[in-house]
Amino acid sequence: MAGSFTYVRKMDRPFLVSQATCGKPGTQIAVFDEMGAPTKLSRYKDFTWFTAKYARPGLPDPDELAADLESLGPTFIKIGQLLSTRSDLLPPAYLNALARLQDSVAPFSFEDVETVVQEELGVRMSKAFFEFDPVPIAAASLAQVHRAVLRSGREVAVKVQRPGIEAQVTSDIEFLTQIASLVERFSDAGRKADPTLIVEEFRKALLAELDYRQEAENLRAIASQLRDFDRIVVPEPVDDYTRRRVLTMEYVSGTKITRVSPVELCDIDTQDLAEQLFRAYLQQVLIDGVFHADPHPGNVFITTDHRLALLDLGMIGRVSPPMQEQLFRLVLGIAEGDGDQAASVAIQLGEKLESFDEAALRRAIVDMVGRYHGVALKDLNAGRVMLEMGRMGADHRLRMSPELALLGKTLLNLDHIGRTLDPTFDANASIRRNAADLMRRRMMKSISPANIFASMQDAKEFVERLPGRVNRILDAVAASELRVKVEIIDDGAIIGGLQKVANRIALGLVLAALIVGAAMLMRVQTTFTILGYPGLAMLLFLAAAAGGVWLAWAILSHDVRTRAH
């Protein structure tokens, strides 16, 4: 929280008192326990005030909203950071005001940093590090980062968690869950949005982000996936100096992408950078199934050697193989402006609730994609369309998959980064350019040894179970208990149609045989010739040509008669 802090004693327990204005006239006193977590009474009062203030009609002042979220602490700062990337929800003025929460959070004291590092590593800081800069190079809502040098001389960045943050986050989310439950119970509009599920997903993502051992695993996984991209770098974690609340990783020298001047960008092939970044994320989502889910501009740096560095991998998304297949079709449909395909996939991905209106939702999605396509295909942002699909699904009683919203947010942020690097960058054109390679790689992945063994296992189970199933069928036949239900409409027309198809196929095979025979006879020299070519071969060619013309005429005339009827 912003403001000055002093310790006081209450009921023989130390408490931390913060003097923060919270965007209101006068001074508010918020009480924290000895771990730095706010007392429930204080938090409930703050939340009640915040809810009452922003429940009023009319849009609040953007800077005031950012200040109020910051005053409520790290959990709400994180919510503000997430909102700052949602240009589909908020006007630009709010995005700009909330964007400062990404990197303008007041740092905590170096004494607290030293305490956390020594508690986690189990040794004094001077024993673990040759140098440790007391001034953080970055401060965020959950942690801050310091530059350091190991005893081996290796330069590293050390991410240190804010003291007491986990207890505070747990308490805040418990309160948000209660609020979501009330909204779901008493509000029809709130029930459609499923706020309880949203809060639960936020809880899981945030608590996972607080375990830096998991983030170290994420760094390794993403770095391995992107090893073929020469212009993208992911810092390597240092396991011996990484614990739950401390993450030590390779130091990457660079500048946040939003702070690079246009003059510096002129010396960089930004078009290639944007293309590689987008292709890398398409690979993560549609091929590997694990992707960096928070690529906002504050997490992307341009290094001194003109590469892109991906930082802060605490939040990742996972996509199952069947979901990858569907998402590939959805992304391609949006990029091509094919609203019908996008609508079909979106409906398959969702959970149909009571009174679901499929026809209305399909029309809404087709109209939305068509509206973007009618303006300019390059302005059709796949991420924005996915997020709008989620809202449309809620309006028509279809609960969209959480992966769809997460991917939509990721693509929205990627489009922002791509246009920051290169204002002419067209994300949808990039999808179309890479579609063929993505499909090829998906096919190669499907014939991997693991999939082959899985298919062999399925075949083995089929063979093992086949005798038993056949015996059950034969027993049913012997006991006159077998029943076959077949529904046929106008079986005479169906049989007649099948006969026509069979006749045409047979005629096509005969014509093909005539052509092959004529080609083979063309090499045999005979005294009988037509136009200088062997006569018999030419007769076969003419017969094949006549048969082909007759077959084409029969098919076309049948189609004309069918349409006439």
For the annotated catalytic residues, the residue numbers are 294
Distance, in Å, from the CA atom of 312 to the CA atom of 215, rounded to the nearest integer, reads: 8
**Sheet with 308-310, side-by-side order of all strands:** 232-233, 308-310, 300-303, 254-256
Tokens (6 digits) for 400 = 């969209």
Query: What angle do the packed helices 427-446 and 382-395 form, to 10 degrees?
Result: 80
- The DSSP symbol for 88 reads T
H helices present in 350-488, as ranges: 358-375, 382-395, 402-421, 427-446, 449-478
End-to-end CA distance of the chain: 77
- Nearest 10 degrees: CA dihedral of 397, 402, 403, 404? 40
Q: Quick check: 385 and 366 in contact, CB under 8 A?
A: no
SS3 state of residue 523: coil
Torsion-angle region of residue 3: left (phi > 0), alpha (psi -120 to 50) or beta? Answer: left
Partners of residue 38 on adjacent β-strands? 32
Sign of torsion over alpha carbons 105, 204, 55, 42: negative
Q: Quick check: 324 and 285 in contact, CB under 8 A?
A: yes
Nearest to 395 by CA among 347, 356, 341: 356
Residue 205 has phi, psi (to 5 degrees) of -65, -40
Q: Quick check: 19 and 3 in contact, CB under 8 A?
A: yes
Nearest to 368 by CA among 349, 403, 392, 352: 392
Distance, in Å, from the CA atom of 364 to the CA atom of 343, rounded to the nearest integer, reads: 9
Distance, in Å, from the CA atom of 533 to the CA atom of 518, rounded to the nearest integer, reads: 11
